[in-house]
Structure formats: C-alpha cells, structure tokens
C-alpha cells in the first residue's frame, strides 16, 4: 500500500507547494472561512495548515488517509460546476506517504482527535482539545524519498511557488481569510470580507491595490469584473495578470493578452500590468476536458471574453484620461 501511495504521490505531491495546495483546497472544501498556512524553510522543514472548517469525525480520521477515500462525490464534468475542489481522494494518503504528519481535528469544538502518521503508518491516536476545524502539520517532507528531494529547486523558488498557490486560492475566494506565514513573516493576509480589491491588498499590498482601477463588462453569457493597475504601475513579466474563472485560478494566454491589449499604446513595450480578472460564466461554456492538475483551460467563445476584457479596460482608462 505504501509503495502505491508513493507512486500516486509522484503525480500529486511533487514539491512543498503541492502539499500546501492540497491541504488548503481541503480546507476550502470543508467550508473554512479562515485558513492559516505556516511554513518553515520553504516548506521543506514544515508546513502547517489550520482551518476553522467542518473537521473530521474521530471515526473517519484513519479512513481519510486511505488512498482513494474521498467524502466528495464528483465527476470530471463537475470540475467547474461544483464548489468542491477535491476529486481524487488521494491527497492525504499521498502526503502522509512522503512525510511525518500530524492531524488535529474537531467537528464540534469540544473534543478533538490527534493522530500521528509516518510514511502512512498510524503511530498514535489520542483525544485532545481544539476549536472546530482541522490542523494538519507536515514535517520533513520527502524524508523517505531522497531521490525526489534532489529535484526540488532552490529554497527561494520553492517559497515563490507556495506564495503563488496561496495568492491564487485567495484571489478565487475573497470570502475566505488566507494568511501565509514563512519563518515568522506574513507573506499573504487577506481579510476574507468578500471584497476582491481587499483580497488583492492582502496579496500584493495595500498601496498597489488602492491605486488599481475597476471595470465591469458583462453580457448575457459572461459576467466580468476586473481590477487593473494604472499604466504607470507595471512589471517586467505577465505573471501579475491573473484570471479567475468561476472562483478558480486559470491560465489562459489569450485572456491575459486581452488585458495587455486593453492598454493599447499606454504600456511601454515589454512591460505588463498588475491585474486580476474575475470571470463568471455558465459551466457548460467551459471546455472542461483538461487534466485536473493543469491550469491551462480552453473556453468556448474565448474571443468574446477577450473583447469584453479589452473593451472594459480600454474604456475605463479613457474615462480616467489615462
Ligand atoms: P479529497 O479531497 O479528494 O476528498 P483528500 O485525500 O484530500 O481527498 O482528503 C480525504 C478526505 O479527508 C476528504 O474527502 C475529507 O472528507 C477529509 N478532509 C481532508 N482535509 C480536511 C479538512 N481540512 N477538513 C475537513 N475534512 C477534511
Ligand atoms: Mg483533497
């Protein structure tokens, strides 16, 4: 069992950032509205995700760590139409197979269960106390798979990947407060009050967020809202242009190009804005034939969405005489 979990882990758990992604997505699925991620040494030493979600009942704790055990029924087709992000039921088993893991969870805020795993073996299970929700601590990731550890890039790159993951999840869920602390330093801290601009403030900083412009441009099929920097606030690459589709961060080259196009000649060559574009559409209009772990998503009638984005930005900039 452990071997097959490690093989499964190869697909899901490539690096510390994958652990963060899977754990935080579980917290979102569990209806948490506060999620705290604490990492040290870019996650290689430890990763802890704590939430105030539904918790796991004492009897289900071990079951949750068995491969292909999911409490979330969904099919590929549901990928964009249902809220739950989990669909494989293998993340916890995979993470436990390559780390030392402790879970502390409570469904009622009274009694809690604390369980320790090492390489998928349950070492210890005891009764504890905790407010409602779940804390999962992962230490010494890849301690038993040194070959994989070799491929993990530099600490700096790894930390950036973790920040990216939390940024993206936070943008898609302005109604959840996300906090990311690395070595005692706050890197992300969103308010969770439902306002996208305030979420952006918790991600890129107050000063950038407060100087952004806003547009809304919708038709009968698409509801598009975006925040974008004035032409004087730019970056040297397009990674600060984010697309959120029905609450999920996606990659789509054509849509980020549409953002750039909206600025016309107002951007210097080789410079890119900071922008977050929130797109809502009927899930049936999304081509969901994508691999679950890939973010590149193709859309039906992409050019119409491009138009709405470019046009929204262009007209807002000209309103402002910018
Ligand atoms: P999946 O998310 O695909 O169902 P996972 O291996 O990630 O599979 O999680 C297994 C199960 O453990 C979930 O279906 C859920 O029931 C439970 N679980 C995991 N994390 C949490 C959490 N933070 N809060 C509540 N339940 C959780
Ligand atoms: Mg999951």
What protein residues have CB closer than 5 angstroms to ion ligand 2? 26, 86, 91
Distance (angstroms) between ligand 1 centre and the Cα of 277 equals 29
**Sheet of strand 100-106, all strands in order from the earlier edge strand to the far edge:** 121-129, 111-118, 100-106, 133-139, 46-51, 34-40, 177-182, 185-189
Task: List the structure tokens of 277.
Answer: 């574009």
Ligand nearest the Cα of residue 65 is 1
Find which of 70-79, 85-94, 222-231, 293-302 is predicted with most confidence, using mean pLDDT: 222-231
Residues with CB under 6 A from ligand 1: 22, 26-27, 29-30, 51, 53-56, 64, 69-72, 86-93, 134
Q: Which residue has the higher pLDDT, 308 or 4?
A: 308
Nearest CA to ligand 1 atom 2: 86
Nearest CA to ligand 1 atom 21: 26
Q: Cα(first)–Cα(last) distance of the chain, in Å? A: 61
Predicted confidence (pLDDT) per residue in 126-184, tens digit:
999 999 999 999 998 887 776 566 656 688 899 999 999 999 999 999 999 999 999 99
The β-bridge relationship of strands 222-228 and 213-218 is: antiparallel
Distance (angstroms) between ligand 1 centre and the Cα of 121 equals 18
Among 300, 290, 291, 289, which residue's Cα sits nearest to residue 254?
300
Among 279, 275, 278, which residue's Cα sits nearest to residue 208?
275
Is this complex scored with an ipTM above 0.90? yes
Distance (angstroms) between ligand 1 centre and the Cα of 102 equals 14
* CB 172 within 8 Å of CB 248: yes
Pocket probe mutation, ligand 1, options 26, 33, 47, 85, max atoms within 8 Å of Cβ: 26
Pocket probe mutation, ligand 1, options 25, 86, 103, 104, max atoms within 8 Å of Cβ: 86
Among 174, 176, 199, 187, which residue's Cα sits nearest to residue 17?
187
Predicted confidence (pLDDT) per residue in 222-235, tens digit:
999 999 999 999 99
Strands (E), 10-99: 34-40, 46-51
Domains of the chain: 2-189 (3.30.565.10), 211-319 (3.30.230.10)
Give the separation between CA 104 and CA 98, rounded to whole angstroms. Answer: 19
Give the separation between CA 225 and CA 153, rounded to whole angstroms. Answer: 36
Tell me the whole-structure pTM to 2 decimals.
Answer: 0.90
Ligand nearest the Cα of residue 74 is 1
């Amino acid at each position: 069992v452990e071997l097959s979990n490690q093989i499964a882990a190869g697909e899901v758990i490539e690096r510390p950032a994958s652990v963060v992604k899977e754990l935080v997505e579980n917290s979102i699925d569990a209806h948490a509205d506060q999620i705290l991620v604490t990492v040290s040494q870019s996650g290689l030493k430890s990763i802890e995700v704590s939430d105030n979600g539904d918790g796991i009942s004492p009897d289900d704790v071990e079951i949750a760590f068995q491969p292909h055990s999911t409490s979330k029924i969904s099919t590929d087709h549901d990928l964009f139409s249902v809220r739950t992000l989990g669909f494989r039921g293998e993340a916890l088993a995979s993470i436990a197979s390559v780390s030392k893991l402790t879970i502390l969870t409570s469904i009622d805020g009274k009694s809690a269960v604390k369980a320790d795993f090492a390489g998928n073996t349950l070492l210890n299970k005891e009764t504890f106390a905790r407010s409602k929700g779940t804390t999962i601590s992962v230490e010494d990731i890849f301690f038993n798979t040194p070959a994989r550890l070799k491929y993990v890039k530099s600490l700096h790159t790894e930390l950036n990947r973790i920040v990216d993951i939390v940024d993206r999840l936070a943008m898609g869920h302005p109604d959840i407060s996300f906090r990311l602390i690395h070595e005692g330093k706050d890197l992300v801290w969103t308010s969770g009050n439902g306002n996208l601009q305030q979420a952006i403030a918790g991600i890129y900083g107050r000063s950038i967020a407060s100087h952004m412009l806003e547009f809304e441009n919708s038709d009968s099929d698409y509801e598009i809202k975006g925040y974008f920097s004035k032409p004087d606030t730019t970056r040297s690459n397009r990674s600060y242009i984010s697309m959120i589709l029905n609450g999920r961060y996606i990659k789509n080259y054509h849509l980020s190009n549409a953002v750039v196009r909206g600025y016309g000649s107002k951007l210097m060559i080789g410079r890119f804005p900071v922008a977050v574009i929130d797109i809502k559409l009927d899930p049936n209009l999304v081509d969901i034939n994508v691999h679950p772990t890939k973010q590149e998503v193709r859309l039906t009638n992409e050019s119409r969405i491009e138009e709405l984005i470019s046009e929204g930005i262009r007209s807002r900039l000209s309103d402002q005489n910018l």
